[in-house]
Amino acid sequence: MRNKICCYLLIIVLLTGTIFFFDYVKIKRKLDRLIIAQTSELMKNSESKKITWKKTENQKNKDLEKILEDYILKEKEYLTTEHEKIVKNRFIPDIMPISISIVISQKFGEKHPGVDLVAPSGTEIMATAAGKVKISDFDEYFGNLIILEHFNGYYTYYAHLEEVSKKKGEFVEKGELLGKVGSTGFSSGPHLHYSIQKDGKFIDPISFIK
């Protein structure tokens, strides 16, 4: 009797264990499928976000390119009108280096590649065009001398200065102070020797000035 009861209990335990085992397997499979489905959904969402992000970035880049293109077009349009004229004239030495009324003591000629402009000592001398100071030094003949390079084939010379206001390598604007009239070097009195050189040849400053 006791043996039969033990056998029944064992059978019940085995059946119960088998049922639990199959339930466990079913549940595990469902969980695995659920995890796979969730992972797949996350990957899809991630990929979708990447695509959206790329589209957004591409659109931003296109927008920036368009803005830049519009800016360049406007800038070109501007440069071909008013600004270009100003910039172009900026590097052309077409004004007098001395603002006061002056007397020409020696004109331009083959043996004198410039003009001598008589003015009181200390009279301010200005750059006739924007450029870079090529030379700012003392010369035995020209005295204190400044030579400007204007980047377009033009050079201007300012000689016999009493004092100089610019050093070699400095940039100057049209009309900016360079120095003052003097009588340094080989000179018989206060004056400015002024020359214009274009593509290696000296030209008459007076015929060139407006």
**CA 55 to centroid of chain Cα atoms:** 31
**Is residue 156 within 8 Å of 113, Cβ to Cβ?**
no
Q: Which residue has the tokens 């200390």?
A: 122
Name the fold adopted by 95-208.
Glucose Permease (Domain IIA) (2.70.70)
User: Which is nearest to 127 in space by CA: 163, 171, 185, 168?
Assistant: 171
The first and second tokens of residue 195, run together, are 């020359």
Q: From first to last of its 210 residues, what are the pLDDT tens digits of the chain?
A: 555 555 555 555 455 555 555 555 566 666 667 666 666 666 666 666 555 655 566 665 566 556 555 555 555 454 455 545 555 588 899 999 998 867 899 999 888 999 999 999 999 999 999 999 999 999 999 999 999 999 888 999 999 999 999 999 999 999 999 999 999 999 989 999 999 999 999 999 988 775
pTM for this one?
0.59
**Is residue 116 within 8 Å of 104, Cβ to Cβ?**
yes
Maximum Cα–Cα distance for the chain, whole Å? 151
Tell me the residue ranges of DSSP E strands in the chain: 103-106, 115-118, 124-126, 131-139, 143-149, 154-164, 171-172, 177-181, 191-198, 201-203
Per domain, the residue ranges of the chain are 1-80, 95-208
Counting DSSP H helices and E strands in the chain, the numbers are 3, 10
